[in-house]
């Protein structure tokens, strides 16, 4: 007696849908075999049907279904995104109603490479950071890799740990709240900023979902620190200021570390600046009161706001009064100063370069 399968009476309790293995690596190559064993109500295998499998996970795919002629229909599932996918099946365009099979795609081990357009820029500027992912020990690019960031360290120019700087931003979000995904070329490019930074070097680490990591360092300069190896913070303070008419140039005051023989110091924006008495100004040529007013355009230019120079104290000039006291220009933005006695401790900005390089 020959039994003829009844394709019009398929049985969802006798038919089965399985995936083997149930766990694969999301590298686009590892595959799970999806197998439908299709039977009718009489437990007869049913072949010759149009069977299609569906997957619920983005960036996963199922190839062409093979009908083996014995009721078995198989296809391969691959993917490049991690997660759990549910496999569904249709027969002749109609959902079969079987319990779905599931496959877990685990993160692909990768090698990460980090590159930047420039590792050092000024506060307010943006560093472009590119994360490139490839299969572990391979040359094949790895798309759809989830990437997060952690902060390894924050240090000043003296390589000391800093805890008071602002939070680094990645694409406008706090670095530890950002998640990105590599594109079809295995790359993720982000914008890095440090809007509240105080002139630090931040070592950040890109972390792939697989746990693979790579780090790099970025520096954002502040205007209130000079670009000197003796500075505490990373900065871009101009070493000199020239008056609008081009007739007067003054060089910035010295850090205490640049001229340790001084009469005192002040701490301004994380830098320690040297102060000098009248008798200690002989190492350079001072500007006159009139010349300092040219630098500040008669008080309309605030040197702290415009150039980052410290202005918590006056700057000595060459102008003397009848008691041989030097005029000390305040530079607070009003252009007004007063005569300072010889042993007053003030900043010195030289007409000739008095900065120790």
Write down the pLDDT at residue 309: 95
Residue 56 and residue 91 in contact, taking contact as beta carbons nearer than 8 Å: no
DSSP state, 42? T
CA 183 to CA 141: how far, in whole Å?
10
In tens, the pLDDT along 107-163 reads 999 999 999 999 999 999 999 999 999 999 999 999 999 999 999 999 999 999 999
Residue 10 has pLDDT above 90, yes or no: yes
User: Higher pLDDT residue, 262 or 334?
Assistant: 262
Q: Is 225 exposed, middle or buried (0-12, 13-18, 19+ CB in 10 A)?
A: buried
CA 296 to CA 341: how far, in whole Å?
23
CA 202 to CA 296: how far, in whole Å?
35
Write down the pLDDT at residue 331: 63
Write down the pLDDT at residue 319: 85
In tens, the pLDDT along 316-344 reads 888 887 777 767 765 655 556 677 777 78
pLDDT cut 90: percent of the chain above it: 78
CA 333 to CA 319: how far, in whole Å?
19
Residue 318 DSSP SS3:
strand
Write down the pLDDT at residue 1: 42
List all residues 6 or more positions away from 151 whose beta carbon is below 8 Å from its beta carbon: 168, 175, 176, 202, 203, 204, 205
Domains and CATH numbers, the chain: 16-106 (2.60.40.10), 110-225 (2.60.40.10), 238-340 (no CATH)
Q: Which residues pair with 102 in a beta bridge?
A: 86
Write down the pLDDT at residue 354: 60
In tens, the pLDDT along 68-114 reads 999 999 999 999 999 999 999 999 999 999 999 999 999 999 999 99
Q: What is the mean pLDDT of the chain?
A: 92
| Distance from the Cα of residue 91 to its chain's centroid | 50
Residue 281 DSSP SS3:
helix
List all residues 6 or more positions away from 339 whose beta carbon is below 8 Å from its beta carbon: 321, 323, 325, 326, 327, 328
Residue 280 DSSP SS3:
helix
Tokens representing residue 43 in the block: 């437990």
Write down the pLDDT at residue 329: 67
Asked if the peptide bond before residue 34 counts as cis, ω within 30 degrees of 0, the response is no
pLDDT cut 70: percent of the chain above it: 95
Residue 341 DSSP SS3:
coil
Residue 283 has pLDDT above 50, yes or no: yes
DSSP state, 285? P
């Amino acid at each position: 007696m020959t039994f003829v399968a009844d394709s019009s009476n398929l049985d969802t309790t006798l038919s089965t849908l399985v995936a083997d293995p149930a766990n694969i690596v999301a590298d686009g190559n590892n595959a799970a075999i999806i197998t439908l064993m299709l039977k009718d109500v009489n437990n007869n295998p049913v072949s010759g049907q149009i069977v299609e499998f569906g997957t619920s996970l983005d960036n996963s795919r199922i190839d062409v279904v093979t009908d083996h002629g014995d009721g078995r229909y198989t296809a391969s599932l691959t993917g490049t995104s991690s997660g759990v996918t549910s496999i569904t099946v249709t027969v002749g365009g109609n959902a079969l109603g079987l319990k779905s099979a599931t496959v877990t795609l685990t993160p692909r081990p990768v090698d990460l490479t980090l590159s930047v357009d420039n590792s050092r820029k000024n506060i307010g500027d943006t560093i472009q950071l590119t994360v490139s992912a490839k299969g572990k020990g391979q040359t094949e690019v790895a798309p759809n890799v989830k990437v997060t960031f952690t902060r390894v360290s924050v240090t000043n120019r003296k390589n000391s740990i800093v805890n008071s700087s602002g939070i680094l931003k990645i694409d406008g979000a706090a670095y530890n709240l950002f998640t990105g995904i590599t594109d079809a070329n295995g790359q993720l490019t982000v914008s890095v900023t440090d809007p509240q930074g105080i002139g630090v070097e931040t070592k950040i680490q890109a972390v792939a979902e697989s746990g693979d990591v790579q780090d790099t360092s970025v520096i954002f300069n502040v205007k209130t620190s000079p670009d000197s190896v003796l500075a505490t913070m990373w900065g871009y303070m101009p070493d000199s200021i020239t008056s609008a008419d081009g007739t007067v140039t003054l060089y910035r005051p010295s850090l205490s570390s640049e001229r340790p023989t001084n009469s005192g110091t002040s701490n301004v924006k994380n830098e320690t600046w040297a102060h000098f008495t009248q008798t200690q100004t002989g190492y350079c040529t001072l500007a006159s009161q009139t010349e300092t007013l040219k630098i500040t355009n008669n008080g309309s230019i605030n040197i702290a706001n415009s150039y980052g120079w410290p202005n918590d104290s006056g700057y000595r000039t060459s102008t003397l009064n009848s008691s041989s006291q030097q005029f000390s220009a305040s530079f607070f933005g009003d252009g007004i100063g007063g005569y300072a006695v010889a042993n007053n401790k003030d900043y010195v900005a030289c007409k000739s370069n008095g900065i120790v390089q």
